[in-house]
């Protein structure tokens, strides 16, 4: 797969009719994430909501990347991480355009989630996480719908590669 093509070829491929479906997947992932975060921010900003013995809704603001890794108070580092995330999203979009159908679906799922979290990094300077999975006193990292899309896409990609090889 030759990703480094001319800008005009990339534009032509970008606007192919078949790619509309994959951009719809991206849009759906982004909108599901935004809707969930809007509701959580509006309704649960000061309290935790108990669902059952394994799941709580508890709003936390993540300034790091996935699951709070690389959290920092440094504006420079935060902005550099945000720039890297932006470059990764653009790169994945270019890869999506040049990929086969099954890979396009996977990349679309990942990009939809990544755009949701990137939007929050730009608008709020942090990502709202609110799904708290736990078992007794063990709590997994708090996460959001965008993280679910990103993780699902990566897992599907890894499974596809394992089956292929």
Distance CA 33, CA 90 (A): 19
The question of whether 120 is a catalytic residue gets the answer no
151 beta partners: none
Catalytic site residue from 33, 58, 132, 147: 147
Q: Which of 38, 37, 156 is nearest to 104 (CA)?
A: 156
pLDDT of 82 reads 92
Distance CA 82, CA 104 (A): 24
Torsion of CA 61, 64, 69, 73, to 10 degrees: -100
Q: Which of 84, 140, 157 is nearest to 117 (CA)?
A: 84
Domain ranges in the chain? Answer: 8-47+55-164
Distance CA 82, CA 88 (A): 10
User: What are the tens digits of pLDDT across the range 28-47?
Assistant: 999 999 999 999 998 876 77
Lowest average pLDDT, out of 14-23, 86-95, 141-150, goes to 14-23
pTM for the predicted model, two decimal places: 0.85
Which string of DSSP letters, residue by residue, matches 110-158? HHHHHHHHHHHHHHHSSEEEEEEEEETTEEPPPB-HHHHHHHHHHHHHH
Catalytic site residue from 33, 58, 129, 132: 129
pLDDT(67) > 70: no
The question of whether 58 is a catalytic residue gets the answer no
The confidence band for 1, taking pLDDT boundaries of 50, 70 and 90, is very low
The confidence band for 9, taking pLDDT boundaries of 50, 70 and 90, is low
User: What are the tens digits of pLDDT across the range 107-151?
Assistant: 999 999 999 999 999 999 999 999 999 888 887 888 999 999 999
């Amino acid at each position: 797969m030759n990703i480094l093509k001319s800008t005009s070829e990339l534009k032509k491929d970008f606007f192919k009719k078949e790619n509309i479906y994959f951009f719809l997947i991206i849009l759906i992932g982004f909108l599901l994430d935004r809707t969930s975060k809007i509701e959580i921010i509006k309704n649960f900003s000061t309290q935790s909501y108990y669902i059952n013995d394994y799941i709580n809704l508890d709003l936390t603001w993540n300034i790091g990347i996935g699951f709070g890794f690389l959290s920092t108070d440094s504006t420079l580092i935060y902005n550099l991480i945000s720039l890297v995330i932006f470059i990764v999203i653009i790169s994945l979009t270019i890869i999506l355009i040049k990929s086969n159908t099954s890979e396009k679906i996977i990349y679309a799922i990942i990009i939809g989630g990544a755009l949701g979290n990137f939007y929050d990094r730009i608008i709020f300077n942090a990502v709202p996480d609110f799904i708290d999975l736990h078992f007794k006193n063990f709590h997994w990292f708090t996460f959001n719908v965008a993280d679910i899309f990103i993780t699902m896409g990566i897992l599907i990609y890894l499974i596809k590669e394992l089956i292929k090889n």
